[in-house]
């Protein structure tokens, strides 16, 4: 009965229902907070102000959101081509490796304005290359993309551990970390940029990557809906047979779309390595690749939706950290539960409330 | 206890502004507060400090490594002072935030940051490992001893190198079998694989195995108990886990480091710089208690005590793997 | 069936179904407007109407898929409330859908009993079910083996399983939605025999269709719907196809329009010994040779599944050849020198595919986007690195205007158009280029009579303009009325070739039956 026409105004569909989902999630989370004897109001207030309350909180929220925009866009692009790219984690990891290798090799030779674009290019290139292998296997050998991309996450982790422990580790370092890049090799921090124009904000990891993330979102939108290749990519995703009929070489499109997906994921590595940490170390992606899947699903695979979902996840990440800070009895595991509830209600149960709203609005208009 | 006096051979000076309330804080490592070894050691020291002084200690467990910096900065902004960072992964975060807040005191365990407001606490794990290596070689009847490391990183190779040197010191013909559990952080908590590696080493003739592998060690100890062989614990005193199987434990007194840092701050004699806690300072040691006294003969005890005295006295210099990332023969 | 006995005394037999003032809206669409309808017990009633006339909606309301906004349903004279299909089944209403709801990997018996297992112990239910099924088989002569796997059965037999399913659940009122769309002529005849048997045994049959010949052949009474309302009711015996067609469309329709004599030009496409295997290695096309000239329509007749699909796929470049040689203009396509659809398009070949949902359109795309499918890289729709959206929109609006696509909304998703309008959009897209060669696969399948007329006129127009048209259709009528030459396919081969003058249904039917005639004749 999918033929039943949807009778909901657009603002309800994209605005009211998601808002109600988040409210429901916070309601349930509030009950849990209540159960351990803390005030739910205080907890929610801390989460909200902790994520959006002042410049520094917003900076952290945006910093987390930057990663999620990249990985979310990566999943969304592949999804439009009918592919489920689970490998964002590994592609971001390898993208970061690309940046790191370039910086370790060049940071003392080239000026900063040259290093940044090189880093950008290498993050994208390495991420794309890491996605290209599963893409080729999918297109020409029929290996299922979900399986291969998952496996490539493990391969990426193993490769980087090997390189970090045996090759790239800084001499005398206790941790498996590379040396710090020369000062030229870093993206401008947002608080520095804002400081130059006279706006004073606290130190946060927010850096120029967020501008690149916004540009990537616009670029993905242009690409998918305003270029012939984007058209072909969506045609393959919606109906491979129609694509063949239209003379589209679907295998090439599959490879191209996954490479683009991998390149976008790789840019999350740029944010972490060239933007924030200025050195290579282990596990810098910290799950952003997997979160990107939820971000894309919640954002309905549209760049604007991905951007909004990334903000929500960034706020959850940051607000959750503040919560654990301010209320010691709420452990980090509890914070994960609260974050999980929000994801559950606004992602997995996104259509749960829909029928009720449809009835409500049908009655209202009928 | 005895190390409190030993550790402070230096001029004490008050870094705290007098009259200011002491608000200490701890940022734990990824393992979390209750990891049965490293972080939990710090928790023990903090608990003891709170009990002794009545001062409450704030703490935070990170969920990913990018949060280290944020956690230190948040504590610093709230005026928490001093702040302890547990684990070498926090080195860069402490370096950054300590630079931004020169009036807040930071104590960093297991790594070095050279700033005027940072106290870096290192342990000579190689010295402690040297001692338990010597004891392993003395207890071995097959002339083969084993080592199971956690994640393959320089720190664990330092344990391994010290252990090898200690074993060879008492028996130049001893053979040391060594395996690392893995190359990812998962290697710290893989008792199944730990058990398999231990069984492999037992099959190849080893009869004492030293596990420097966090939670993975539990599997090693169980395998030793199942095969009726011996095992050596690490970080905290794990002798009680399997009395009769645990030959000894190489204890690393992170609790002491935490306790002393807070205590010094309270007493007004906290000071920055690098503190290296070896055998001499009581930072590392071998554990002898009612659980393993039957396994350690008087002769063995004498020999180990003598070796320890020689290290403390400087007659034996134990090679530190991390000084040159190598373990020369 | 037992329920019949409990009904009111003879004399006044209430109608099987009475619909009174049924009204239903979907947003702006008024699907049913105050429909009043009465169907006598033990009769076969036909409901005809163009696509979108509201007949399927009406039956969905009767079967409990939708709730009517207003109106009343009476079954055997009693007002009832039907909230879902379980209610409908309990009232003795059964429905055979256009797309079968069967599990291919289950046997006939298992399928029939699915959802009516009658208890937790399957074996006991199966035993009882088998007995009932065998009785139904005997009574109605459906000719289906209870132990055959449904996936192995021909389409006609699968449909009979659906009918069995409904009867097994005690249906006294049987609704069939476009039941003959997937059937061969022989299977259609068999279905009609079964419907007559059902009627003889007291079952009421409601037949939804747009094929007027079938209405004339099997129904007692016919209801004509247009734009959501009932516009006429006739006794079948007292009406004609022409009258019904006019009532359906609301104007005079002529399918037998005059066709100018064919003036064949040069050979534009030449097929020599084409041979194709499918993925499982079965030969689907063998020794197929023919020529296609400018200015002629060559009809390909045959029972569905005899190689027509593969022929179109080969000619359009979708499927590679195993052997043989295809010449289009100067380009020669062989197994060693394969072509793809883009290459064939570049040679001036247009293709209206058989499967318009899955091939002809991307249903999730806006009409604008579907209107350039296959031409998305054409310079007309590209500006620099970007698609030229305004140009695409202009093109789509133009096609919609010229080919009367409704609604005229280029932004509407392709899935939102009715089948006929989708087909017009595809036809418009493919003919817009004034192709030299046109492959038309089942161009009027599922279309209502007004749309069929429109499509036929466009095809003739192209032919007269010098285009070579290959028309593949399973509708003999269509082939006969449009083609200048007729190829008959059977078992992947060309069983015979007839000129327009010498062709008639009987000759073509014999060639179509060919090797598999025995199976179809049963």
pLDDT in tens, A4-34: 344 577 777 777 887 888 888 888 888 988 9
Residue A177 sits at the chain B interface (C-beta within 8 Å): yes
Q: How far apart are CA A72 and CA C415, in angstroms?
A: 28
* Chain A residues 148-167 within an 8 A CB cutoff of chain B: 157-158, 161-162, 165
Q: In Å, what is the CA distance from C352 to each residue of A242, B131, B309, C380?
A: 12, 85, 94, 21
In a domain, A11, yes or no: no
Q: How many CB pairs under 8 A join A and B?
A: 77
* Chain C residues 58-77 within an 8 A CB cutoff of chain A: 65, 69
Q: What pLDDT is recorded for position B78?
A: 87
How far is the first Cα of chain C from the last one, in angstroms, to the nearest whole number? 29
* Chain C residues 301-320 within an 8 A CB cutoff of chain A: 316-318
The pLDDT confidence band at residue C120, using thresholds 50, 70 and 90, is: low
Mean pLDDT of chain C: 86
Task: Select the residue from C23, C376, C418 to test the A interface by mutation, using most A Cβ atoms within 10 A.
Answer: C376
Buried b (16+ CB within 10 A) or exposed e, B224-246: bbebebbbbbbbbbbbebbeebb
Q: How far apart are CA A268 and CA A291, in angstroms?
A: 12
**B100 CA: distance to closest CA in chain A (Å):** 9
> What percentage of chain C reaches a pLDDT higher than 90?
41
**B72 CA: distance to closest CA in chain A (Å):** 11
State mean pLDDT over C434-457: 88
Q: Does domain B125-252+297-324 have CATH number 3.10.290.10?
A: no
Q: What pLDDT is recorded for position A2?
A: 35
Residue A144 sits at the chain C interface (C-beta within 8 Å): no
Task: Select the residue from A1, A236, A245, A302 to test the C interface by mutation, using most C Cβ atoms within 10 A.
Answer: A245
C132 shares its domain with C273: no
* Chain B residues 174-233 within an 8 A CB cutoff of chain A: 183-185
**Are B2-123+253-277 and B125-252+297-324 in the same CATH fold?**
yes
Instruction: Give the number of other Cβ atoms within 10 Å of residue B55's Cβ.
Output: 15
Q: What pLDDT is recorded for position C485?
A: 93
Q: Looking at beta carbons, which residues of chain A come within 8 Å of C30?
A: none
Q: Which residue of chain A is at minimal alpha-carbon distance from C352?
A: A245
Considering only the beta carbons, identify the residue of C27, C341, C369 that sits closest to A245. C341
Q: Do A287 and B64 touch (CB under 8 A)?
A: yes
**Between B232 and A356, the higher pLDDT residue:** B232
C495 shares its domain with C467: yes
Q: Which residue of chain B is at minimal alpha-carbon distance from A180?
A: B92
In a domain, A123, yes or no: yes
Cβ atoms of C500 and C484 within 8 Å: the answer is yes
pLDDT tens digits, C453-503: 889 999 999 999 999 999 999 888 889 889 999 999 988 899 999 998 888
**B251 CA: distance to closest CA in chain A (Å):** 19
Q: Looking at beta carbons, which residues of chain C come within 8 Å of A244?
A: 318, 341
C363 shares its domain with C441: no
Find the range with the poorest average confidence among B79-83, B145-149, C412-416. C412-416
pLDDT tens digits, C48-107: 887 778 888 898 899 988 888 889 999 998 999 888 888 898 999 999 887 788 888 888
State mean pLDDT over B62-77: 85
Q: Looking at beta carbons, which residues of chain B come within 8 Å of A203?
A: 73, 100
In a domain, A7, yes or no: no
C-alpha torsion sign, points C163, C169, C170, C176: negative
Q: What pLDDT is recorded for position B13?
A: 36
- The CATH classification number of B2-123+253-277 equals 3.40.50.2300
pLDDT above 90 for A121: yes
pLDDT tens digits, B87-141: 888 988 999 899 999 999 999 998 889 999 999 999 999 999 999 999 999 999 9
pLDDT above 60 for C404: yes
In a domain, A306, yes or no: yes
Q: Do A245 and C342 touch (CB under 8 A)?
A: no
Considering only the beta carbons, identify the residue of B60, B65, B323 that sits closest to A286. B65
* Chain C residues 375-404 within an 8 A CB cutoff of chain A: 376-377, 381-382, 385-387, 389
**Closest-CA residue to C158 (of C211, C201, C215, C97):** C97
CA A77 to chain centre: 12
Residue C341 sits at the chain A interface (C-beta within 8 Å): yes
Q: How far apart are CA B164 and CA B144, in angstroms?
A: 11
Q: What pLDDT is recorded for position C445?
A: 79
In a domain, C264, yes or no: no
Specify the 3-state DSSP secondary structure of B314: coil
pLDDT above 60 for C27: yes
In a domain, A42, yes or no: no
Residue A251 sits at the chain C interface (C-beta within 8 Å): no
pTM (two decimals): 0.79
Q: Do A282 and B154 touch (CB under 8 A)?
A: no
Q: Which residue of chain A is at minimal alpha-carbon distance from B111?
A: A174
Helix A288-298 with A88-106: angle, nearest 10 deg? 130
Q: What pLDDT is recorded for position C119?
A: 62
Q: What pLDDT is recorded for position A229?
A: 95
Cβ atoms of C110 and C162 within 8 Å: the answer is no
Q: How far apart are CA A93 and CA A97, in angstroms?
A: 6
Q: How far apart are CA C363 and CA C367, in angstroms?
A: 9
Mean pLDDT of chain B: 88
* Chain A residues 191-230 within an 8 A CB cutoff of chain C: 222, 226-228, 230
Q: Do A175 and B74 touch (CB under 8 A)?
A: no
**A256 CA: distance to closest CA in chain B (Å):** 32
The pLDDT confidence band at residue A44, using thresholds 50, 70 and 90, is: confident
In a domain, C367, yes or no: yes
pLDDT tens digits, C108-117: 888 888 877 6
Quick check: do C and B touch, 3+ CB pairs under 8 A?
Answer: no
Q: Do A171 and B325 touch (CB under 8 A)?
A: yes
Q: Looking at beta carbons, which residues of chain C come within 8 Å of A246?
A: 341-342, 373-374, 376
Residue B69 sits at the chain A interface (C-beta within 8 Å): yes
Cis amide prior to A4 (ω within 30 degrees): no
CATH number of the domain bearing residue A93 = 1.10.3470
Q: Looking at beta carbons, which residues of chain C come within 8 Å of A247?
A: 317, 340-345, 374
pLDDT above 50 for C4: no
Q: What pLDDT is recorded for position C132?
A: 86
Find the range with the poorest average confidence among A15-24, B316-325, C228-237. A15-24
pLDDT tens digits, A246-305: 999 999 999 999 999 999 999 999 999 999 999 998 889 988 999 999 899 888 899 999
Residue A336 sits at the chain B interface (C-beta within 8 Å): yes
* ipTM for the predicted complex: 0.82
In a domain, A93, yes or no: yes
Specify the 3-state DSSP secondary structure of C522: coil
**A253 CA: distance to closest CA in chain C (Å):** 14
Q: What pLDDT is recorded for position C213?
A: 83
The pLDDT confidence band at residue C522, using thresholds 50, 70 and 90, is: very low
- Tell me C518's DSSP state: H
The pLDDT confidence band at residue C257, using thresholds 50, 70 and 90, is: low
The pLDDT confidence band at residue B19, using thresholds 50, 70 and 90, is: very low
C97 shares its domain with C199: yes
Question: What are the residues whose beta carbons fall under 8 Å from the beta carbon of B285, sequence distance 6 or more?
Answer: B128, B131, B250, B251, B253, B279
pLDDT tens digits, B227-266: 999 999 998 888 988 999 999 999 999 999 999 999 999 9
Helix (H) / strand (E) containing C344: helix C341-346
Q: Is B21 exposed, middle or buried, given 0-12, 13-18 or 19+ CB atoms closer than 10 A?
A: exposed
In a domain, C47, yes or no: yes
Cis amide prior to C407 (ω within 30 degrees): yes
For chain C, what is the domain count?
A: 3
Q: Looking at beta carbons, which residues of chain B come within 8 Å of A335?
A: 63
State mean pLDDT over C136-154: 82
Buried b (16+ CB within 10 A) or exposed e, C124-158: eebeebeebbeebbeebebebebeeebeebeebbb
Q: What pLDDT is recorded for position C447?
A: 78
pLDDT tens digits, A146-164: 999 999 999 999 899 889 8
CATH number of the domain bearing residue C230 = 3.40.50.300
**Closest-CA residue to A191 (of B100, B60, B102):** B100
pLDDT above 80 for C516: no
The residue segments making up the domain with residue C279 are: 269-348+437-522
Mean pLDDT of chain A: 88
Q: What pLDDT is recorded for position B193?
A: 94
In a domain, A18, yes or no: no
**A342 CA: distance to closest CA in chain B (Å):** 18
Q: What pLDDT is recorded for position C5?
A: 41
pLDDT tens digits, A75-109: 999 999 999 999 999 999 999 999 999 999 999 99
Task: Select the residue from C381, C387, C407 to test the A interface by mutation, using most A Cβ atoms within 10 A.
Answer: C387
State mean pLDDT over B67-87: 90
Q: In Å, what is the CA distance from B59 to each residue of B76, B81, B108?
A: 12, 12, 14
Considering only the beta carbons, identify the residue of C353, C376, C381 that sits closest to A232. C376
Quick check: do B and A touch, 3+ CB pairs under 8 A?
Answer: yes
State mean pLDDT over B261-290: 92
State mean pLDDT over C182-197: 82
**A273 CA: distance to closest CA in chain C (Å):** 32
C237 shares its domain with C281: no
pLDDT above 90 for A204: no
C299 shares its domain with C411: no
Q: Looking at beta carbons, which residues of chain C come within 8 Å of A227?
A: 385-387
Q: Do A222 and C386 touch (CB under 8 A)?
A: yes
Q: Do C382 and A232 touch (CB under 8 A)?
A: no
**B237 CA: distance to closest CA in chain A (Å):** 23
Cβ atoms of C180 and C192 within 8 Å: the answer is no
The residue segments making up the domain with residue A85 are: 55-354
Q: What pLDDT is recorded for position C341?
A: 93
**Closest-CA residue to A101 (of A153, A160, A189):** A160
Q: How far apart are CA C466 and CA C262, in angstroms?
A: 10
Can you give the three-state secondary structure of chain A, one letter per residue? CCCCCCCCCHHHHHHHHHHHHHHHHHHHHHHHHHHCCCCHHHHHHHHHHHHHCCHHHHHHHHHHHHHHHHHHHHHHHHHHCCCCCCCHHHHHHHHHHHHHHHHHHHCCCCCHHHHHHHHHHHHHHHHHHHHHHHHHHHHHHCCCHHHHHHHHHHHHHHHHHHHHHHHHCCCCCCCCCCCCCCCCCCCCEHHHHHHHCCCCCCCCCCECHHHHHHHHHHHHHHHHHHCHHHHHHHHHHHCHHHHHHCCCCHHHHHHHHHHHHHHHHHHHHHHHHHHHHCCCCCCCCCCHHHHHHHHHHHCCCCHHHHHHHHHHHHHHHHHHHHHHHHCCCCCHHHHHHHHHHHHHHHHHCCCCCHHHHHHHHHHHHC
Q: What pLDDT is recorded for position C134?
A: 86
**C385 CA: distance to closest CA in chain A (Å):** 6
Q: What pLDDT is recorded for position B9?
A: 35
C364 shares its domain with C464: no
For chain A, what is the domain count?
A: 1
What is the residue extent of each domain of chain B? 2-123+253-277, 125-252+297-324
State mean pLDDT over A311-318: 91
Q: In what order do the strands lie in the sheet with B246-252?
A: B175-182, B144-151, B208-212, B230-235, B246-252, B284-286
């Amino acid at each position: 009965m999918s033929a039943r026409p949807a009778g909901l105004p657009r603002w309800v569909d994209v605005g009211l229902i998601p808002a109600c989902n988040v409210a429901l999630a916070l309601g349930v989370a509030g009950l849990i907070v209540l159960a351990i004897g803390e005030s739910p109001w205080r907890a929610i207030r801390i989460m909200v102000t902790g994520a959006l309350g002042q410049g520094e909180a917003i900076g952290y929220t945006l910093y987390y959101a930057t990663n999620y925009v990249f990985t979310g866009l990566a999943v969304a692009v592949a999804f439009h081509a009918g592919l489920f790219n689970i490998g964002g984690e590994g592609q971001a990891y390898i993208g970061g490796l690309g940046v790191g290798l370039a910086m370790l090799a060049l940071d003392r030779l080239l000026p900063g304005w040259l290093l940044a674009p090189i880093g950008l290019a290498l993050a994208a290139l390495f991420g794309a290359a890491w996605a290209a292998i599963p893409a080729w296997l999918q297109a020409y050998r029929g290996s299922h993309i979900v399986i291969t991309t998952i496996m490539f996450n493990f391969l990426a982790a193993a490769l980087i551990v090997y390189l970090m422990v045996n090759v790239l580790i800084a001499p005398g370092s206790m941790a498996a970390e590379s040396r710090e890049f020369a000062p030229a090799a870093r993206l401008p921090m947002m608080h520095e940029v804002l400081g130059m124009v006279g706006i004073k904000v606290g130190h946060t990891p927010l850096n120029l990557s967020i501008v690149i993330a916004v540009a990537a979102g616009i670029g993905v939108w242009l690409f998918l809906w305003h270029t012939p290749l984007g058209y072909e990519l969506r045609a393959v995703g919606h109906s491979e047979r129609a694509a063949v009929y239209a003379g589209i070489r679907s295998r090439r499109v599959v490879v191209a779309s996954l490479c683009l997906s991998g390149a976008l994921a790789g840019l999350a590595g740029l944010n972490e390595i060239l933007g924030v940490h200025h050195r290579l170390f282990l596990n810098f992606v910290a799950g952003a690749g997997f979160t990107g899947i939820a971000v894309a699903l919640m954002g309905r695979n549209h760049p604007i939706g991905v951007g909004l979902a990334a903000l929500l996840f960034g706020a959850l990440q940051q607000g959750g950290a503040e919560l654990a800070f301010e209320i010691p009895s709420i452990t980090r595991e509890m914070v994960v539960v609260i974050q999980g509830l929000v994801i559950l209600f606004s992602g997995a149960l996104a259509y749960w409330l829909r029928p009720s709203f449809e009835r409500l609005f049908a009655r209202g208009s009928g | 206890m005895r190390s409190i006096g030993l550790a402070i051979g230096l001029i004490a000076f008050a870094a705290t502004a007098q009259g200011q309330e002491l608000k200490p804080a701890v940022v734990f490592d990824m393992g979390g507060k209750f990891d049965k070894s490293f972080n939990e050691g710090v928790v023990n020291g903090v608990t003891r400090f709170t009990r002794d002084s009545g001062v409450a200690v704030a703490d935070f467990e990170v969920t990913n490594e990018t949060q280290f910096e944020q956690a230190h900065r948040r504590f610093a902004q709230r005026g928490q002072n001093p702040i302890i960072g547990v684990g070498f992964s926090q080195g860069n975060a402490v370096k950054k935030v300590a630079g931004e807040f020169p009036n807040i005191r930071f104590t960093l365990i297991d790594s070095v940051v050279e700033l005027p407001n940072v106290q870096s606490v290192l342990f000579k794990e190689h010295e402690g490992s040297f001692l338990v290596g010597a004891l392993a070689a003395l207890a071995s009847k097959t002339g083969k001893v084993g080592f199971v490391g956690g994640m393959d990183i320089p720190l664990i190779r330092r344990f391994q190198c010290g252990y090898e040197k200690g074993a060879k010191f008492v028996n130049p013909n001893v053979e040391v079998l060594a395996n690392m559990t893995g190359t990812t952080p998962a290697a710290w908590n893989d008792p199944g694989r730990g058990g398999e590696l231990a069984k492999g080493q037992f099959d190849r003739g080893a009869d004492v195995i030293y596990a420097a592998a966090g939670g993975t060690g539990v599997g090693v100890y169980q395998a030793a108990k199942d095969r009726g062989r011996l095992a050596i614990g690490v970080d905290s005193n794990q002798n009680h886990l399997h009395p009769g199987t645990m030959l000894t434990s190489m204890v690393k007194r992170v609790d002491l480091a935490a306790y002393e840092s807070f205590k010094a701050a309270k007493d007004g004699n906290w000071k920055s710089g690098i503190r290296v806690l070896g055998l001499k300072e009581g930072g590392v040691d071998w554990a002898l208690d009612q659980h393993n006294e039957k396994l350690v003969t008087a002769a063995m005890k004498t020999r180990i005590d003598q070796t320890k005295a020689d290290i403390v006295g400087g007659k034996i210099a134990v090679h530190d793997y991390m000084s040159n990332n190598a373990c020369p023969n | 069936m037992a329920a019949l006995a409990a009904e009111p005394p003879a004399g006044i037999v209430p109608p099987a179904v009475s619909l009174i003032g049924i009204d239903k809206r979907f947003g702006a669409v008024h699907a049913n407007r105050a429909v009043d309808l009465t169907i006598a017990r033990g009769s076969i009633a036909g409901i005809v109407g163009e696509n979108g006339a509201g007949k399927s909606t009406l039956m969905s309301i009767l079967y409990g898929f939708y709730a009517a906004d207003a109106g009343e349903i009476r079954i055997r004279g009693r007002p009832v409330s039907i909230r879902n299909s379980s209610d409908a089944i309990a009232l003795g209403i059964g429905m055979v859908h256009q797309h079968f709801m069967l599990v291919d990997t289950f046997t006939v018996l298992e399928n029939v009993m699915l959802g009516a297992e009658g208890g937790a112990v399957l074996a006991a239910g199966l035993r009882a079910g088998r007995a009932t099924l065998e009785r139904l088989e005997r009574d109605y002569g459906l000719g289906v083996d209870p132990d055959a796997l449904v996936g192995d059965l021909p389409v006609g037999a699968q449909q009979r399983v659906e009918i069995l399913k409904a009867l097994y659940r005690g249906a006294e009122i049987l609704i069939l939605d476009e039941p003959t769309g997937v059937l061969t002529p022989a299977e259609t005849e068999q279905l009609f025999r079964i419907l007559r048997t059902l009627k003889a045994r007291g079952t009421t049959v409601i037949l939804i269709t747009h094929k007027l010949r079938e209405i004339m052949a099997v129904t007692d009474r016919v209801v004509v719907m247009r734009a959501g309302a009932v516009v006429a009711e006739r006794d079948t015996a007292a009406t004609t196809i022409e009258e019904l067609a006019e009532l359906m469309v609301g104007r005079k329709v002529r399918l037998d329009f005059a066709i100018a004599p064919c003036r064949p030009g040069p050979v534009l496409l030449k097929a020599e010994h084409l041979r194709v295997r499918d993925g499982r290695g079965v030969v689907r096309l063998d020794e197929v040779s023919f020529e296609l000239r400018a200015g002629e329509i060559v009809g390909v007749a045959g029972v569905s599944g005899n190689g027509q699909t593969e022929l179109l796929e080969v000619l359009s470049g979708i499927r590679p050849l195993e052997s043989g040689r295809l010449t289009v203009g100067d380009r020669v396509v062989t197994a060693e020198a394969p072509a793809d659809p883009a290459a064939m398009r570049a040679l001036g070949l247009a293709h209206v595919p058989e499967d318009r949902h899955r091939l002809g359109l991307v249903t999730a795309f806006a009409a604008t986007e579907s209107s350039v499918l296959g031409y998305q890289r054409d310079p007309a729709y590209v500006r620099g690195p970007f698609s030229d959206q305004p140009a695409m929109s202009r093109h789509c609006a133009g096609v919609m205007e010229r080919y009367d696509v409704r609604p005229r909304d280029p932004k509407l998703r392709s899935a939102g158009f009715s089948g006929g309008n989708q087909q017009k959009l595809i036809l418009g897209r493919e003919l817009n280029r004034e192709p030299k060669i046109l492959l038309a696969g089942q161009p009027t399948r599922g279309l209502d009579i007004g749309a069929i007329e429109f499509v036929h006129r466009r095809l003739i127009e192209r032919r007269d303009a010098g285009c070579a048209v290959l028309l593949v259709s399973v509708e003999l009528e269509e082939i006969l009325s449009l083609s200048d030459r007729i190829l008959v396919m059977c078992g992947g081969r060309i069983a015979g070739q007839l000129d327009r003058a010498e062709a008639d249904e009987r000759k073509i039917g014999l060639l179509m039956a060919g090797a598999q005639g025995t199976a179809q004749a049963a």
